[in-house]
A and B are shown apart, each in its own frame.
Chain A
Amino acid sequence: MQFHKYDVVIIGAGGAGMRAAIESGQRARTAVLTKLYPTRSHTGAAQGGMCAALANVEEDNWEWHTFDTIKGGDYLVDQDAAEIMAKEAIDAVLDLEKMGLPFNRTPEGKIDQRRFGGHTRNHGEAAVRRACYAADRTGHMILQTLYQNCVKHGIEFFNEFYVLDICLTETENGPVCTGAVAYELATGEIHVFQAKSVVFATGGFGKVFKTTSNAHTLTGDGMGIVFRKGLPLEDMEFYQFHPTGLAGLGILLTEGARGEGAILRNASGERFMERYAPTIKDLAPRDIVARSMALEVLEGRGAGPNKDYVLLDCTHLGAEVLETKLPDITEFARTYLAVDPVVEPVPVYPTAHYAMGGIPTNIHGEVLRDNDNIVPGLYAAGECACVSVHGANRLGTNSLLDINVFGRRAGIAAAEYANSRETHVDLPENPAAQVEAQVALALSEHGQERVADIRTELQATMDANASVYRTEDTLKTALHDVQALKERYAHIQVQDKGKRFNTDLLEAVELGFLLELAEVLVHGALARKESRGGHAREDYPNRDDTNFMRHSMFYKQGDGLTADIRMDFKPVTFTRYKPMERKY
């Protein structure tokens, strides 16, 4: 075992983690731990843009952005947080530009802006050009720019260090975070990092689903670690399905395509979104578009030999727009489906994309241990966190915004907290014991179950029973399946017994987190007997503000993978927007 001591430890090197590191690293001694290499994180897969009311191309202001975010989130958004995000968005974009991000430009040389789903002028009048972008690789450019600036500031990275536990030290005022425990992939060695503050920025858990835009590595590790510590997760039943995944594959095709004018059509060529969202049509928020697409298919209007997808028509945009503003998605369609978007429409279907829920934090990124109290020294930002700025449904581009605004806030807060403490709080006794035991158990002979089989079955039941539309019956099936898979997980076999880059072991550990989070998702979806944002219940088709205008909070009761889940609720923060019926 090796021991390290830092002021701040940041876990994850995607957008939120590196944005936090740039702030923290200039203020306090900071280490970034990532299970990948920097620039491999899935921020790089984000395409379309990052919204901010710069008003570079038409009238706009951050108050409209705030409203759109709240309405887009089906009023489950904490309004104080949304207001901060929309207000700070402007500086977040300008900061990135100053760091070197090569945004597309207007003829005057300013940052160009495009339309995006749910972002409107004057509270819903029409789509507004608010998304700042770099072709259709905005996330790639953000990830690269942030890494470049980490290099510039000499940020210290521990690459391929897989964090498996955090250290909580009990004090008379409750638990305090004092460090993290990591497994070094290269050597199999365990490292304890003592720190005054720890920031989680570990991303989402899209791999609970089969059809997903998420990377193989998005297995919810950070959320899983926090949950196992008895700390809550919030709003986990709200999972976003992005309307335009490549059919059958789930690879993302940006909403920016529709922002540039692409149209969704059913088998007969009808522009069906005109029926579901008469005002902004194809640029309705993702939950509405995904539901509409699923309905078209369910009602027999799907395209293709099995009528199981719809078509994204970009043909009228012309080769030049596609090649210059949407080059990557044009190539994806050509490479993976052998479809050329210049001349034919692209088969698309909703793909599991983004967790609205996660580790509950306040607006400073401080992690909550219940509705009222924080865990001193523990922070979270980005997709793994729930502030909550996305509520029941995130608007497109608001995730790139979230990681920049709240990554920055968490980095500053973590460093300032560390600097306000003269000494490190003592670590708990045997801080590495839990991880040592976990690794030893996984490597020991205790069964014949294959990780791949359990994962495949998990993803199949989640796709079939807990995706765009859900019912009591499908969710009960999913719950039953996940619980049975958890039992089988106790008997998994890791074939690679070595210490060197044991990715067989890694996948086994990741599966444990996936199973845990899938159960929380389904548990929450069963309890929420209403339809709101990304959570659509066929048996409860309406939003029910009387009973469900509240955040869900999930706590693990006891140890072990099969421990019970306790549910609680947290009020939504309102400032000036009253819930209204959601029409576009």
Chain B
Amino acid sequence: MTATAETTAGSRGSQPPVPDGAVTVTVKIRRFNPEFDDEPRWDSFDIPALPSDRVLNLLHYIKWYVDGTLTFRRSCAHGICGSDAMRINGVNRLACKVLLKDLLQKGDKQTTITIEPIKGLPVHKDLLVDMEPFFEAFRAVKPYLVTYGNEPTRERIQSVADRERFDDTTKCILCACCTTSCPVYWTEGSYFGPAAIVNAHRFIFDSRDEGAEERLDILNDIDGVWRCRTTFNCTDACPRGIQVTKAIQEVKRALLFKRV
């Protein structure tokens, strides 16, 4: 492994054996540790990797065998927990859901992969950002079932069609890929952002819920749904395939026509 000139990365000794079929790729990472650095920098690492590797594997390789100070969040490693949202080659992705084979350059050209933290949230260290503003927006839309009156003794009845109505938005894993891909969110952090609206949608269109009006009032706010410029970045960024922009439009329509 050769760390290129601009890196300050120390070596952790010899690297493990290179597996058959590995290619060398350059991973260029935006680094910043406010504890020691005055400003962000780029570090580049040339490492061996298999085409079937996830980008998360590449980050682990660097952390485990080259530079232990590289910092990022991750947990489940298969796109369910939502920890490892980052900007990979300029688009928001989960590092555990992008395979190297889909990023490789054609022919003999060496592949460079650029990795930055998601945008619009303060960087704590390297690829790890402050998630609090994101979760604050989520909590603000009353993301829970609101009901009044007595609870039934058994389950509430809901038709298959009514259940289907909000199925798409139940898939959200709160990874922030959508919200931090939104140009409006980048410039106006006070905007609730797509993820919060998706989670409001999940309840507004749930036939069991009685809190739609309260939530619609919240989203009718100056920082609510009307900020959306239908750029579709969010829909493209969602690792769960949620039609995010469509959900936002449905909330807008509910506000316009006062019905869910």
Which A residues, 209 to 256, have Cβ-Cβ distances below 8 Å to chain B? 215-217, 251
- Find out whether the CB atom of B76 lies under 8 angstroms from the CB atom of A215: yes
- Please tell me if A140 contacts chain B, counting CB pairs below 8 Å: yes
Complex Cα gap A331–B96 (Å): 13
Other-chain contact of A501, B83, B128, B206 (Cβ < 8 Å): B128
- Please tell me if A119 contacts chain B, counting CB pairs below 8 Å: no
- Find out whether the CB atom of A215 lies under 8 angstroms from the CB atom of B145: no
Q: What are 8 A-B pairs with beta-carbon distances under 8 A?
A: A100-B209, A104-B163, A141-B170, A144-B170, A335-B99, A495-B12, A500-B33, A504-B69
Contacts of B67 in A (CB 8 A): 495
- Find out whether the CB atom of A44 lies under 8 angstroms from the CB atom of B144: no
Complex Cα gap A496–B12 (Å): 11
- Please tell me if B74 contacts chain A, counting CB pairs below 8 Å: yes
Other-chain contact of B75, A108, A111, A215, A448 (Cβ < 8 Å): A215
- Please tell me if B18 contacts chain A, counting CB pairs below 8 Å: no
Known: A44-B76, A100-B208. A498 touches B97 (CB 8 A): no
Surface stretch bound by B, among A148-156, A419-427, A552-560? A148-156
Binding site for B on A (CB under 8 A): 36-37, 39-42, 44-45, 93-94, 97-100, 102-111, 134-135, 137, 140-141, 144, 148-149, 151-152, 186, 215-217, 251, 328, 331-332, 335-336, 448, 450-453, 456, 493-496, 498-501, 503-504
Known: A44-B76, A107-B160, A251-B78. A100 touches B65 (CB 8 A): no
- Find out whether the CB atom of B155 lies under 8 angstroms from the CB atom of A94: yes
- Find out whether the CB atom of A99 lies under 8 angstroms from the CB atom of B145: yes
Number of interface residues of B (CB under 8 A): 63
Looking at chain B's contact residues, is the secondary structure mostly helix, strand, loop, or mixed?
loop
In the assembled complex, the CB of A349 is this many whole angstroms from the nearest CB of chain B, namely 16
Contacts of B78 in A (CB 8 A): 45, 251, 332, 336
Contacts of A331 in B (CB 8 A): 241
Interface 1/0 per residue, B125-155 and A, CB below 8 Å: 1001001000100110011110000011011
Complex Cα gap A549–B34 (Å): 57
- Please tell me if B64 contacts chain A, counting CB pairs below 8 Å: yes
In the assembled complex, the CB of B100 is this many whole angstroms from the nearest CB of chain A, namely 12
Q: Which 8 A-B pairs have the closest CB atoms?
A: A100-B145, A495-B68, A452-B64, A109-B157, A148-B144, A504-B68, A152-B144, A496-B69
- Find out whether the CB atom of A499 lies under 8 angstroms from the CB atom of B81: no
- Find out whether the CB atom of A498 lies under 8 angstroms from the CB atom of B170: no
- Find out whether the CB atom of B125 lies under 8 angstroms from the CB atom of A40: no
Other-chain contact of B163, A98, A105, A137, A217 (Cβ < 8 Å): A105
Known: A495-B10, A495-B12. A500 touches B64 (CB 8 A): no
Complex Cα gap A216–B54 (Å): 14
- Find out whether the CB atom of B34 lies under 8 angstroms from the CB atom of A44: no
Which B residues, 137 to 190, have Cβ-Cβ distances below 8 Å to chain A? 138-139, 142-145, 151-152, 154-160, 162-163, 166-167, 170-174
Known: A495-B12, A498-B33. 18 other contacts (CB 8 A): A44-B80, A44-B173, A94-B154, A98-B155, A102-B163, A105-B163, A109-B160, A111-B155, A135-B167, A141-B170, A144-B172, A215-B76, A216-B74, A332-B78, A456-B16, A495-B10, A503-B72, A504-B68
Nearest opposing residue in chain B for A336, CB measure: B78
Nearest opposing residue in chain A for B207, CB measure: A109
Interface 1/0 per residue, B33-52 and A, CB below 8 Å: 11110000000000000000
- Please tell me if B224 contacts chain A, counting CB pairs below 8 Å: no
- Please tell me if B63 contacts chain A, counting CB pairs below 8 Å: yes
Complex Cα gap A501–B63 (Å): 14
In the assembled complex, the CB of A337 is this many whole angstroms from the nearest CB of chain B, namely 9
Complex Cα gap A148–B208 (Å): 15
Contacts of B173 in A (CB 8 A): 39, 44, 140
- Find out whether the CB atom of A500 lies under 8 angstroms from the CB atom of B34: yes
Which B residues, 97 to 144, have Cβ-Cβ distances below 8 Å to chain A? 97, 99, 124-125, 128, 131, 135, 138-139, 142-144
- Please tell me if B3 contacts chain A, counting CB pairs below 8 Å: no
Contacts of B192 in A (CB 8 A): none
- Find out whether the CB atom of A102 lies under 8 angstroms from the CB atom of B206: yes
Contacts of B193 in A (CB 8 A): none
Complex Cα gap A111–B157 (Å): 8
In the assembled complex, the CB of B4 is this many whole angstroms from the nearest CB of chain A, namely 19
Nearest opposing residue in chain B for A187, CB measure: B35
Contacts of B99 in A (CB 8 A): 335-336
Other-chain contact of A37, B33, B77, B131 (Cβ < 8 Å): B131
Contacts of A498 in B (CB 8 A): 33, 35-36, 69
In the assembled complex, the CB of B129 is this many whole angstroms from the nearest CB of chain A, namely 11
- Please tell me if B71 contacts chain A, counting CB pairs below 8 Å: yes
